[in-house]
Amino acid sequence: MNQLICKNFEEFRKHEGKPLPTGDWLTVTQEMINAFAEATQDFQWVHVDLERIKKESPFKKPIAHGFLSVSLLSKMLMDLLVVESFAMGVNYGLNKVRFPHPVPVDCRLRLHSSIQKIEEYGDNGLKITWDCSVEIEGIEKPACVAEFISLMFEK
C-alpha cells in the first residue's frame, strides 16, 4: 500500500494542494450492504431484496447505498495517510457530493484524492478539505465525488 507518511502537522501542511497516493482496492460485499442497511434502517429493495432485484432492477444485481460510498471516505483516506503525531480525527462535513454511478455488489472501489486546503483549527487541530473521487473498477464514472472535510488533532 502506498501511503503518505508525515512526522507531524508541520510536515503534513507541506502537502496542501497535492494528490495523495491512489488507494488500494476495497470489495463491496452484500454483507457490507446489509450491515449498512441495518445501521441506517434503509432497506430499499434495490440494496437488499435479491429476488426482487433479479426481476425488477435495471442493474440485475444489488447496488450499494450511495451513502455507503461516502461513509468509506474516512477509512479510505486514513489508509493513505499516516501522521505520526496524530491523536484523533472527526468528520466535519461534505461539500458538492455526487453519486455519478451506482456501486454493484462485489465490485471493487478505490480512492483518488488530494488535499485541497488545510486550515488551523483551535490550539492543536487542522481542518482539512479533501477532494475525493471513488473509482469503480472497470466503470468509467466514479461511485462518488465529494469535497470531504475533516478535523485532525495532534497529541
Length of the chain: 155
Enter the pTM of the model: 0.93
CATH code given to domain 4-154: 3.10.129.10
The arithmetic mean of pLDDT across residues 41-53, rounded, is 96
Q: How far apart are the first and last CA of the chain?
A: 25
How does pLDDT run across 93-133, given as a tens digit for each residue? 999 999 999 999 999 999 999 999 999 999 999 999 999 99
Q: What percent of the chain is predicted at pLDDT more than 90?
A: 97
Residue 108 cell numbers, joined: 471493487
How does pLDDT run across 61-92, given as a tens digit for each residue? 999 999 999 999 999 999 999 999 999 999 99
Among all chains, which residue has been given the C-alpha cell 470531504?
148
The arithmetic mean of pLDDT across residues 36-52, rounded, is 97
Are 130 and 114 contacting, i.e. CB atoms less than 8 angstroms apart? yes
Q: Using alpha carbons, select from 153, 6, 148, 154 the residue that is nearest to residue 77.
A: 148
